[in-house]
Structure 1
């Protein structure tokens, strides 16, 4: 985990925070946001360019301000612990239980974004797919 916290928030617009003077932030990197009252929220880097990081705040932005809020870049993407204990459970977008059940504790973690699909690794379609639209079906 990075130990550098930034207090160089230049603007908060809706769910977005604009943080200046940031070096080495990466797309998809998770952040921890600390309010003046000690409350903590999470967010994720959506864009970086020329020392500016645009961060999406997960949760409300009420209580956040440009002068008293600090932000720490965690150096990792969003990950979720996975196990068989997840079956039948309800989770939020970050993998936190929403059903008042116990937190999932597992050594197995996977990236929430996953990896991209390589279109060249797929089998080439060979069967006709009928769409019901004659101008499209005529090209098959």
Structure 2
């Protein structure tokens, strides 16, 4: 919870789409654990399912894909050191490689179609940037 609150606070004013941090409390004596309060988000979790408007419109899903890529691009422009996030984790080839390995015998979780980008979609994103 402390890490999430730190990241949300650091992203304030960055252009990265995220809920704003309202308050954070690291004192575990208050509720029994650290906690934070963030701004409400009007939307849905596309991993859990999509409303009919989104599920039934290829154009809307395409726009969702571009919006996700735009968010990732904005996140990539954040200077994590200037934002005060340099101590969260060491960025190294080892950590990146470890993040993408799957344990033997485990299958990766299926990716919902809304989150699958084809080579054509990636090329379109490159043309937009």
Q: Which range, TM-score by smaller chain?
A: under 0.3
Return the index of the structure with the highest Cα Rg. 1
TM-score (norm 1): 0.19
Question: Where is the strand percentage greater, Structure 1 or Structure 2?
Answer: 1
Question: Where is the helix percentage greater, Structure 1 or Structure 2?
Answer: 2
TM-score (norm 2): 0.20
